[in-house]
């Protein structure tokens, strides 16, 4: 288990490094636009907004883009072609990261958590020390996962949900006839979920973000 944790921590550090680099390529007006769409109290420098709330805006800025435009994480990946093995592994995972709604099944036998992908199906072994400490079995959440070697890591933003919201998404999917993978890949879906998560947070000062 020690080797797995050490490898995860190196991957998490690389994820932070590459996402920070991607964020630096995003013009401030674009960041402000994402924050406004989320309903955050925008100032010129995004001051006075809690880091946990900003994480949602940063996720959208780094991992989504308008049709026909490259994503910030893709631009950083292109700049690091020829990187070392672990760097390349994390970059590839970040480029292919997927957003979905998950239910925590419980601890993974080695470390981390086992999550059920409640929209797309299947299970994912996820390494995230903070999440492992705060998300008991049955927790419903939305996040973006990047698969590395055997396990996946979160990309930073985690939106707490509940079974009622999950049931609502499933009803909407069934009514619209939209394939789950298509809906989950649409940046508007992540935006909607993040708005909902921020609504919980902003309406209840004692809620956990």
23-72 confidence digits (pLDDT tens): 999 999 999 999 999 998 877 667 678 888 999 999 999 999 988 899 99
Question: Which residue, among 137, 127, 183, 107, has the nearest Cα to 4 in the 3D structure?
Answer: 127
Residue 184 lies in a domain: yes
The HSE-up count of residue 107 (CA atoms within 13 Å, CB side) is: 8
Q: Is residue 208 part of a domain?
A: no
Q: Does residue 133 lie in a domain region?
A: yes
Structural domain total, the chain: 1
Please state, for a pLDDT cut of 90, what percent of the chain lies above it.
65
Residue 198, domain member (yes or no): yes
Instruction: Note whether residue 209 is domain-resident.
Output: no
Domain of 175 in residue numbering reads as: 2-203
Q: Note whether residue 65 is domain-resident.
A: yes
| First and final C-alpha spacing in the chain | 29
pLDDT band at 200, cuts 50/70/90?
low
Indicate whether 9 belongs to any domain: yes
- Report yes or no on 142 lying in a domain: yes
Whether 16 has a pLDDT exceeding 70, the answer reads yes
pTM confidence score: 0.89
pLDDT digits (tens, 9 = 90+) for 136-172: 999 999 999 999 989 999 998 999 998 998 888 888 8
Residue linked to tokens 């999440």:
131
Query: Looking at residue 44, what is its pLDDT?
Result: 67
Distance of CA 3 to the CA centre of its chain: 25
């Amino acid at each position: 288990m020690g080797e797995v944790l050490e490898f995860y921590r190196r991957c998490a550090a690389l994820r932070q490094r590459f996402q920070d680099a991607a964020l630096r390529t995003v013009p401030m007006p674009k960041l402000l636009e994402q924050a406004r769409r989320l309903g955050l109290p925008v100032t010129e420098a995004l001051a006075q907004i809690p880091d946990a709330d900003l994480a949602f805006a940063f996720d959208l800025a780094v991992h989504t883009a308008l049709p026909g435009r490259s994503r910030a994480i893709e631009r950083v990946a292109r700049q690091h072609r020829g990187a070392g093995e672990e760097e390349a592994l994390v970059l590839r995972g970040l480029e292919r990261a997927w957003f979905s709604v998950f239910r925590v099944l419980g601890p993974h036998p080695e470390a981390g958590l086992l999550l059920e992908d409640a929209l797309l199906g299947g299970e994912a072994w996820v390494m995230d020390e903070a999440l492992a400490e705060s998300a008991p079995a049955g927790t419903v959440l939305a996040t973006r996962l990047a698969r590395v070697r055997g396990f996946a890591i979160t990309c930073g933003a985690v939106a707490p949900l509940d079974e009622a919201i999950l049931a609502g998404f499933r009803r909407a999917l069934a009514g619209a006839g939209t394939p789950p993978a298509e809906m989950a890949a649409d940046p508007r879906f992540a935006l909607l979920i993040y708005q909902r998560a921020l609504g919980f947070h902003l309406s209840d000062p004692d809620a956990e973000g």
